[in-house]
Amino acid sequence: MEGLVSLEELGIFTLVLCVLWLYLPGYLVNTFAMMWGKWLPKTGYGPWPIDGGRTHKDGNRVLGDGKTWNGLIGGSLTSGLLAIFMVWLVSGNDLTNAPFIDISINGSGIGTFSFLNLGWIGSAFYLGTLLGFFSLVGDSTGSFMKRRRGLKREGGVSSKAPLLDTLPFAIFTFIGGLIFLPSTYHSAEGVWIGMLGLLILTPIIHRAFNILGYKLGWKDVPY
C-alpha cells in the first residue's frame, strides 16, 4: 500500500476521519466498557473495581468504583471483535475508498502480529483488543489524576473534568497504534496532522458518545 494519506488528495476533514477509522476500537471501547459495567453485574458477577476499594494516601480512592475489571476486560475484547468486523467490512479498500480503508496487510495479517500466523481474523482481534486496552489504561490514568486532585465520585455520579476525561485515553490509544499498527500508516504524509486534528476533536466526540450512553441508561451522567 502506498502512503496512507495525502493532504492534497484527501483534505483535512477526510484525513481526520481516516485516523478516527484506524483508531475506532480505541475510541469506542469506553462505550463497550460502560455496557459491561452495567450489564454483567445484573447477572450476579461483579462489579470488580480495579483498585479493589483501596484508598490512596490522600484519603481518596485510587481509581474509584467507575473503573472495573469487567469493563476493562470486556471492553477490550469487544474492541477486538469490532476490529474483525471493520476488516471484514472494508476488505481490500485502499486510499480511493477513504476514510474506510482496510487496516490489514494483503488480508493475511496486521502489523506486529503477522509473524504469529493468526490470519486476518486473529490479527484484527489482537490489534483491536490492544487498542481498546491501551485506551482504557489511559482512561484509568485520567481517573487516577482526577482522584489526586480531589475530583471523586459522589455515589454513582462521576466528577466532571473534560480534559482528564478525554485526552489521556486518546493519547494512550495513539501510543498503542504507534506500537502495533503497521508503520506504513504513521509514515504517510499528513497523518500526524490528522492525529492532531482528531485529538482536538476528541472532547466533542467523547461528549457525544457519553450523551448517547446516558440516554441509553449506560451512564449516570451525560459526561
Task: Tell me: pLDDT of 17 over 80.
Answer: yes
Q: Where does the pLDDT of residue 52 fall: very low under 50, low under 70, confident under 90, or very high at 90 and above? A: confident
Task: Judge whether residue 106 has pLDDT over 60.
Answer: no
Q: What are the domain boundaries of the chain?
A: 13-215
| pLDDT category of residue 29 using cuts at 50, 70 and 90 | very high
Residues in a beta bridge with 49: 68
CA distance 133 to 126: 10
Q: Look at residues 131, 98, 125 and name the one whose alpha carbon lies nearest to residue 3.
A: 98
Q: Average pLDDT, stretch 130-146? A: 92
Residue 115 pLDDT greater than 60, yes or no = no
Burial-class residue 5 by CB neighbours within 10 Å (0-12, 13-18, 19+).
buried
| Distance in angstroms (rounded) separating the CA atoms of residues 211 and 11 | 29
C-alpha span between 58 and 212 (Å, rounded): 34
The arithmetic mean of pLDDT across residues 181-205, rounded, is 81
Cβ(94)–Cβ(101) below 8 Å: yes
- CA-nearest of 44, 40, 39, 47 to 66 is 47
What's the pLDDT band for 11 if we cut at 50, 70, 90? confident
Residue 100 reports pLDDT greater than 80: yes
C-alpha cell at 122: 486473529
Kindly tell me if the per-residue pLDDT of 107 is higher than 60.
no
pLDDT at 31: 87
Average pLDDT along the chain = 80
Mean pLDDT of 115-143: 86
Q: For the chain, where are the E strands, in sequence order?
A: none
Residue range 146-174: mean pLDDT, rounded: 74
Ramachandran angles phi, psi of 178, nearest 5°: -65, -30
Q: Which secondary-structure segment (H or E) carries 165?
A: helix 162-180
How confident is the model at residue 110, as a pLDDT?
A: 52
pLDDT bucket at 198, cuts 50 / 70 / 90: very high
Task: Give one DSSP letter per residue of 106-125, joined into a string.
Answer: TTTB-GGGGGGT-HHHHHHH
* CA–CA distance, 57 with 30 (Å, rounded to integer): 28
Q: The whole model's pTM is what?
A: 0.82
Percentage, residues of the chain above pLDDT 90: 28
| Residue among 167, 137, 150 at smallest CA distance from 61 | 150
> What is the mean pLDDT of the segment spanning 14-34?
91
CA 162 to CA 93: how far, in whole Å? 35
User: Which three cell numbers, joined as nine digits, stand for 127?
Assistant: 490489534
- pLDDT band per the 50, 70, 90 thresholds, residue 104: low
d(CA 187, CA 190): 9
pLDDT digits (tens, 9 = 90+) for 80-99: 999 999 999 988 777 677 78
Mean pLDDT along residues 21-27:
93
